[in-house]
Amino acid sequence: MEQPLKNPAFLNLNHWRAKVKTLAGNVFSAPYLPKNFVLFFLLTSITHFAIMLMNYSTSYWHSDLTAQGIAPGSAYQTSPIDWLIVSVIYLSLALFCLTVFNYRWSLIGWLTAEVIHFYGMSRWLENCNFSRWSISAGAFCESFDVRIFWIIAAIPVGFLFATNLHPSGYSLPKQKLEKGISRAAMAFSAAWGLLLLTGMIASAQKPTSGWVPLELDTNPPPLEHSAYAYDTKRNKLVMFGGANYVNDQWIYKNETWEWDGKKWLNVSPPPEDSPKGRTSTGMAYDEERGVIVLYGGYNKSSTLCDTWEWDGEKWRWLCPLNCPGARLGHEMYYDPIRKKVVLYGGSNNKTYFNDAWEWDGTNWAKIEMKGDSPVASQYALAYNPDEEFAFGLLSGSPGGTWTFKDDQWTRLSPGIEPSNRSGTRLVYEPQRKVFVTFGGYTNDTTLNDTWFFDNKIWRQFTDTKLQPPIRSNMVIWYDQVRKHIMLFGGYNGSNVYNDTWELILPDK
């Protein structure tokens, strides 16, 4: 006997009635708390808490100095417990909502609120400067506004989303659907957790710009006018000497310190095997021979004319036949074309020099200059290996911006430039191919401004919510390990510093 033809399911009215009944049951029935959704709620809270935590280093919570005036208000700048309380409130509201409400259609509301919420948080964090998710990073916010509302308002709505994932007692295919939804929720929670972890790592590797103070277990003593050079073979900064002001007198140090990108190490040999304590000393790394070269400087009442080399373990005093004479305030750099260390300028407290000398590892030889050469002492000098010239920001008269190439000085006219100053420092940043200078003093005023020079024009860097206090005669270098510019110490006219800072430049 021939069977009657059946209509397709999508044309069957009873099929759609069952669908509507199932949907209505899922929308208006009372929810409960499966374990997978508890994990979902926890991940939601952890996500928001982590976003805040990633942008506030441990040091921030316990430093009134760094928090004052640049943090999210007095109620939130003294302890992380406030943030922890907010997270507990998230969970409490979640439990309350899941026990009382049954709005299964809250999915759309949750998605909308979360989009707005995370957008608000991203805009809020644009006002912050942080380097990486670690204790040594700094995190400083300019303001804390009403965007906190999205943190509190979006979460309870988000917790209601769980009721969209679990079937109610009115569902027709209850067991089968319940099993499938439960697995889907577990997969969703696992994916969320993985995404959260990935986001943390990605955020930790993508810093924003600005000056950031580092909190270190060990620091050199307060020092100003130390000599320094970066050992590119060992990826270490070598710093020697400098002075500290103690009990109304200057103490000249002869300690040797090294910075390896993470910490300071005192590598000083015995005092009798080291150069005398001094300031205003020239120092450069000889890439050809793999040693640090030190020359001259000032010790109490004496201007020095000795030559020393540091091989990473010990100092060696040299006795060349010729030398540039006693001087202080000169600058030195390594010239890869000559394959020699070059010294320029300085003074002997009576005469200001405009001569150049080169060191070949055995002897000093005077360089025959072309054209007029400016006198220069207590100035700033750095070398650009990409375009093979030295770049100077001179103090006093004539002052200004200069380049030194092929034994000749050339005065540049970049328009706006840093004010005429002494005690400033220059460093070349190879990633962005710019020179960076910081601080110094001019007309009895100590400065803390930061400037960039891109071989054409000067620009003042203002994209930072925090910067080192005013100072001069600090140490500044490019760290090949951290890929950032670093700063240590200096003098503000009354105090000598021993703090370490990191400058994170913007991508552009």
* Residue 340: its H or E element: strand 340-344
Which has more pLDDT, 447 or 68? 447
Report residue 347's pLDDT band, with 50, 70 and 90 as the boundaries: very high
Strand 282-286 with 139-141, pairing:
unpaired
* Residue 284: its H or E element: strand 282-286
Q: Could you give the residue range(s) of every CATH 2.120.10.80 domain in the chain?
A: 225-504
Report residue 16's pLDDT band, with 50, 70 and 90 as the boundaries: confident
Q: What is the SS3 assignment for 280?
A: coil
- 3-class DSSP string for 99-128: HHCCCCCHHHHHHHHHHHHHHHHHHHHCCE
Where does residue 431 fall: left (phi above 0), alpha (psi -120 to 50 degrees), or beta otherwise?
alpha
Lowest-confidence pick of 141-155, 168-182, 336-350: 141-155
Distance CA 102, CA 139 (A): 41
pLDDT at 398: 81
Residue 214 pLDDT > 70, yes or no?
yes
Mean pLDDT of 352-366: 97
Lowest-confidence pick of 82-96, 141-155, 354-368: 141-155
Residue 349 pLDDT > 80, yes or no?
yes
pLDDT at 44: 60
List, for residues 264-319, the tens digit of each pLDDT value. 999 999 999 999 999 999 999 999 999 999 999 999 889 999 999 999 999 999 99
Which has more pLDDT, 196 or 310? 310
List, for residues 332-342, the tens digit of each pLDDT value. 999 999 999 99
Residue 426 pLDDT > 50, yes or no?
yes
Which has more pLDDT, 345 or 164? 345
Give the tokens for residue 213: 């103070």
Distance CA 39, CA 323 (A): 74
Note the residue count of the chain: 508
Query: What's the order of all strands across the beta sheet hosting 282-286?
Result: 282-286, 291-299, 302-310, 315-318
Q: pTM of the full predicted structure?
A: 0.65
Residue 350 pLDDT > 60, yes or no?
yes
Percent composition of the chain: helix, strand, coil (DSSP 3-state, to 5): 30, 30, 40
Fold that domain 225-504 belongs to in CATH: Neuraminidase (2.120.10)
Q: What are phi and psi of 406, to 5 degrees?
A: 55, 40
**What amino acid is encoded at 117 in this protein?**
H
Which has more pLDDT, 128 or 89? 89
Q: Give the range with max mean pLDDT: 90-99, 104-113, 264-273.
A: 264-273
- Give percent of the chain with pLDDT exceeding 70: 60
pLDDT at 130: 40
Residue 87 pLDDT > 70, yes or no?
no
Which has more pLDDT, 443 or 97? 443
pLDDT at 169: 45
Residue 473 pLDDT > 90, yes or no?
yes
Which has more pLDDT, 128 or 451? 451
Distance CA 508, CA 495 (A): 35
pLDDT at 504: 84
Report residue 75's pLDDT band, with 50, 70 and 90 as the boundaries: very low
Q: Give the range with max mean pLDDT: 33-37, 332-336, 410-414.
A: 332-336
Lowest-confidence pick of 192-196, 243-247, 429-433, 492-496: 192-196
Which has more pLDDT, 195 or 438? 438
Mean of per-residue pLDDT scores for the chain = 75
- Give percent of the chain with pLDDT exceeding 90: 47
Task: Give the distance between the most distant pair of CA atoms in the chain.
Answer: 125
pLDDT at 203: 46
Which has more pLDDT, 391 or 282? 282
Residue 78 pLDDT > 50, yes or no?
no
